[in-house]
A = this chain, B = another copy of it.
Amino acid sequence: MRADLPVVVQPRLNLEAPDVAEAAAAASLLGDRVRASILRMLRDGPHCVCEMAAALGERENNLSNHLAKLRETGLVRAIRHESNGRFQYYERDETAVARALAAIQDVLG
């Protein structure tokens, strides 16, 4: 099912550039295996840094770097464990994640 090609011989030069800044920024974050894994794991609920580091076979400080980027863009936030403040838990900001997905959907959908 292929759309018909335009019948013009001259290319249409009035095509305008779409605004994909938000989608590209979100996709850029998702483009890294570690960050994509983090967001996928946090889909099922909060996890602490050491849990995710162990699951991914990455060092804790490396994961902390990636979490910082996700934190700066608002996709995740850090929360303290009530009974054990030593572990740093993270959870997704579902509103921000939904916005990111919507931006990507506008490009691909």
The chain A residues found within 8 Å of chain B, CB to CB, are 2-3, 5-7, 9, 11-13, 15-18, 20-21, 23-24, 27-33, 36-37, 39-41, 43, 45-48, 50-52, 54-57, 79, 81-84, 87, 89, 91, 97-98, 100-101, 104-109
**In the complex, which residue of chain B has the Cβ closest to the Cβ of A55?**
B15
Are the C-beta atoms of B16 and A55 separated by less than 8 Å? yes
Are the C-beta atoms of B18 and A107 separated by less than 8 Å? no
Q: Could you list 15 examples of A-B contacts with CB < 8 Å?
A: A2-B79, A3-B45, A5-B79, A5-B82, A11-B50, A11-B87, A17-B56, A20-B37, A27-B27, A27-B30, A28-B31, A36-B107, A40-B106, A101-B105, A101-B108
